[in-house]
Structure 1
Amino acid sequence: MLIVKEQKKSIDEQINGIPIVEEYADVFPKEVLGFPPSREMDFAIELMPGTGLVCVAPYRMTLAELAELKKHIEDLLEKKFIRPSVSPWGAPVLLVKKKDGSSRLCGITGSLIKSLSRIGTRCQELMIC
């Protein structure tokens, strides 16, 4: 019996060989320490007049998928890539199976982007949504 365990590549191993990253290596921080500190004025996106929140029914998930989603969210919170929010906005997500059997968290932002003012207009004009 032969068991082969694939080792997960480190971040450094994953980005080696990417020309733009190697060319501008001095611009990228060695570690991301989290979000920048709060400023006098926080960032905000103005909505187009007459628009409101996008209401969409949540996707159904099995208990196993829900546990996997919670694991992804905890991992992102731990890495400080996301943070808890009380915003009325949210984006639906899906778990997509990878070839190795694990899952990838994918955001579905099309309907959310269409409701935003400048970003949505520009995206629709460029047809990238």
Structure 2
Amino acid sequence: ILCGEKKVRIPLEAQVTKQESKLKQLEDVSVIQDFLEVFTEELHGLPPPRQVEFCVDLIPSVAPVARTPYHLAPSKMKELSEQLKELSEKGFIRPSSSLWGAPVLFVKKKDGSF
């Protein structure tokens, strides 16, 4: 391998065949087939293929990291409640009982709001 170039050696006896790359269709994605109720009716298709594919390797039966929740000042707790209620009403979020989560961090804007 040379600085981003890939050398491939093919023995003379080998036959080289060209295989057209098939773009994935929605029907090819098992997750979509397994959880149809989660996906909208207007699912227009998959995004174009990326140069780099990312994946997260999950480790079965790993317990979440137990941490004490951050303490919030009453003003921030009130703002959190209001924002969660608004996002829930708009349908952007929904109640969850997941053991995995992320902390909330508020940053004040120039006008003093969060």
Which of the five TM-score ranges fits, normalised by the shorter chain? 0.3 to 0.5
Higher helix share: 1
Higher relative contact order at CA 8 Å, sep ≥6: structure 1 or structure 2?
A: 1
Q: Which has the larger radius of gyration?
A: 2
Higher strand share: 1
* TM-score between the two structures when normalised by the length of structure 2: 0.47
